[in-house]
Structure 1
Amino acid sequence: MQLVDEFRDPALAQALLSRIDQLMTQTPLAEREVVRVMEVCGGHTHTIFRYGLDQLLPQGLELVHGPGCPVCVLPRACIDTAIAMAQQSDVILASFGDALRVPGSHKSLLQARAEGVDVRTVYSPLDALELARKHPEKEVVFLAIGFETTIPATAMTLIQAEQEGVDNFSMLARHISIIPTLQALLDDPELAVDAFIGPGHVSMVIGTAPYQFVSQRYQRPLVVSGFEPLDLLQSIHMVLEQLATGQPKVENQYARVVSEAGNAQACVAIHALFEPAQSSEWRGLGAIEGSGLQFRTAFSHFDAEQRFAAVLQSEPAATPEYACCGEVLRGSLKPRACPLFGRECTPEHPVGALMVSSEGACAACYQYRGDETP
């Protein structure tokens, strides 16, 4: 079905919902107690809650929220490290706004700023580089987070800093990769997910080809989706068609933006500066092999952890998470089922990182469903 330019047209939405209803009444879908589809991306989760898409779907079809929000998987230890760097008298720490509110073991970056630490909000890594230019007497550290969507901007900023010889600029890099993450989820024997809605923004960079293992090795459908309501409804319809025919594959609903090969120039920039780390710690999920990225040797002088190694050696280990973030990220628990949801844990006073970003499942649920009875 071809979508028109208006991606929120009620008539088109109703037509897609009718076709979804029909598929769910057909064999073999009708024989299943529940069909569970995971949307990997936090942007999709936000759209689902904002427009109530999950409430429009037929009984027996359940949407599961995945780990695709980079703020939501930022571990406490990373926040502790960032605060330790920022507490040095000659340091300016620059970060995206959402990351400032993520709880560390004892406080957030926002709370550290209230105590007098120099923490600045920036909108891009280039803004952080500009701070370094303006303050040559300071060490400027940029907290670099995100999936492949944001890594090219980080890489290009470092290349520019190298060309200009800006030596008071470094990064605390916590970039992560989506493919090892999906594989770790699929290797989890407790994962009860029948199909995936693939991330649109990440796929703009890496393309759709890297997802082939999902259908070929694990026999799960995956459809890369856009972010409008009709995008998601059409993507749900597409994965259901695959489940109905028993022929899982990778499809691209977001073809107006995403290609099979992705953005070659962006991928070259990523690989020029970063290489896979052996493992990376995820908030609520633990260590995922191959999911993290580290600086290549030629750019390791931009690694803030090397520059501040003496300070970081005395940092205490992060305390355990006691919110149910891990269960929500794996799709085994709905946000409102967490005993802290809306009580101890709110967007104003987040205990878990999923309550911080607007793309976090708990924050989106609280914003659009906060007044509902659990």
Structure 2
Amino acid sequence: MAVGKEILDTLHSLVDQEITLMHICGTHEAAIARAGLRSVLPSNLKIVMGPGCPVCITPQGEIDAALDLVEKGCIVATYGDLLRVPGSKGSLESSGGDVRVVQGVHKAVEIARNEPGRDVVFISVGFETTAPTVAAAILANPPENFSILSCHRLVPPAMAWLLEQGEASLQGFILPGHVCTVMGYEEYERFPVPQVVAGFEPEDILLGLVMAVQQIREGVHRVDNAYPRAVSREGNVKAKRLMYEVFEPFDVEWRGFPVIPKSGLRLKPEFAGYDAQEKYGIEIRHVDKHSACICDKVLRGVARPSDCRLFGKVCTPRTPVGPCMVSHEGACKIWHLYESKRA
């Protein structure tokens, strides 16, 4: 803790202007909230959350597509976080279909092998952290009754969109440690703002903030690595090769965002036999927002969960209105667990 106090003192001595930094990682938000870091930061240093929860940025049209697969009689395998995310016709949990929670794609493949008479679809969500494991499963020739609904997203295109819009007035980013463990940080070097890769202990996050603030004070921009025990510039080369052997980038909508160019991952044509959209003729449609939920603004860093008039009242972890109150990486659920108790 002495190390953390020393880093915190350094941070207070450095911050002499209004600074807004964004992190793009649900685990960072959980760590910040759990440790109460916002309460000890300099008052003019603001940390906002971005689109760092893969379940939260999955648009309603993709949830509806998963529900369509349930209606077609498929066994739908999914991460538990996705179960209660609302679609237009309810959620996977309330669908009444054969929906099974799995810890990863390998378990979904196992279900398909054990039940050869049933079609099994894995709802494949996640950033670059999970996509390589799905690619490895596809390359291992799973059974013909297995397929995926690819809902993967890439982080850098979303960052590019946020910088182009400028609505959150960002001075820099704390980069996602898990994603960078896989992908490295070479592709982030194109962004003309201070960036730091940070780990997930309180001291890791504080060190990342110090390094970002130092860049701002010096008037420079680069990518600093405050998480060298897990992250290298080039990342996991083998994992990246697997991912791009199976998937290709394409233009896709994010919840709270418009269609972002080259920000999604879809299966390449040679793996179309494992593409649930192709296999079952499923269409992913845009769904207009009709509720008072402000998940879209939270995911863009322009609002806090507590700014929402539904937060903690109509919308709770037991009765979620939006996806940010569902996932354990969702900002609203995290704030409900930690920040609201400090208010």
**TM exceeding 0.5:** yes
Is 2:260 aligned against 1:288? Answer: yes
Normalising by structure 1, we get a TM-score of 0.89
Q: Which residue of 1 aligns with 2:298?
A: 328
For residue 87 of structure 2, the aligned residue among 94, 97, 104 is: 104
SS in 1 for 2:315: coil
Is 2:190 aligned against 1:186? Answer: no
Structure 1, unpaired ranges of 5+: 1-9, 25-29
Q: Which residue of 2 aligns with 1:20?
A: 11
Counting only pairs closer than 5 Å after superposition, residues 238-277 of structure 1 correspond to structure 2 as 238-277=211-250
Report the alpha carbon displacement of residue 52 of structure 1 after superposing the two structures with TM. 0.5
Q: Could you list the per-position Cα deviations for residues 52-111 of structure 1 after superposition, in whole angstroms to 9, with x for gaps in the alignment?
A: 01111011111111111101101111111101101223x100001001111111311111
Counting only pairs closer than 5 Å after superposition, residues 1-374 of structure 1 correspond to structure 2 as 10-24=1-15, 30=16, 32=17, 34-89=18-73, 91-112=74-95, 115=96, 117-160=97-140, 162=141, 166-214=143-191, 218=192, 220-277=193-250, 279-309=251-281, 312=282, 318-322=287-291, 323-373=293-343
Q: Could you list the per-position Cα deviations for residues 210-256 of structure 1 after superposition, in whole angstroms to 9, with x for gaps in the alignment?
A: 11012xxx3x1000010111100000011011111111110110100
SS in 1 for 2:94: helix
SS in 2 for 1:288: strand
Percent identity between matched residues is 39
**1:146, 1:307 → 2: CA distance?**
21
The structure number with the bigger radius of gyration is 1
- State whether residues 284 and 321 of structure 1, in contact with CA within 8 Å, keep that contact through their aligned partners in structure 2: no
Partner AA of 2:115 in structure 1: H
Report the alpha carbon displacement of residue 318 of structure 1 after superposing the two structures with TM. 2.9
**2:124, 2:99 → 1: CA distance?**
14
Aligned length: 342
- State whether residues 321 and 352 of structure 1, in contact with CA within 8 Å, keep that contact through their aligned partners in structure 2: no
- State whether residues 33 and 334 of structure 2, in contact with CA within 8 Å, keep that contact through their aligned partners in structure 1: yes
Report the alpha carbon displacement of residue 191 of structure 1 after superposing the two structures with TM. 2.9
| CA pair 370-189 structure 1, distance change in 2 beyond 3 A | closer
Partner AA of 1:356 in structure 2: V
- State whether residues 60 and 286 of structure 2, in contact with CA within 8 Å, keep that contact through their aligned partners in structure 1: no
Q: Could you list the per-position Cα deviations for residues 6-30 of structure 1 after superposition, in whole angstroms to 9, with x for gaps in the alignment?
A: xxxx211111111011112xxxxx2
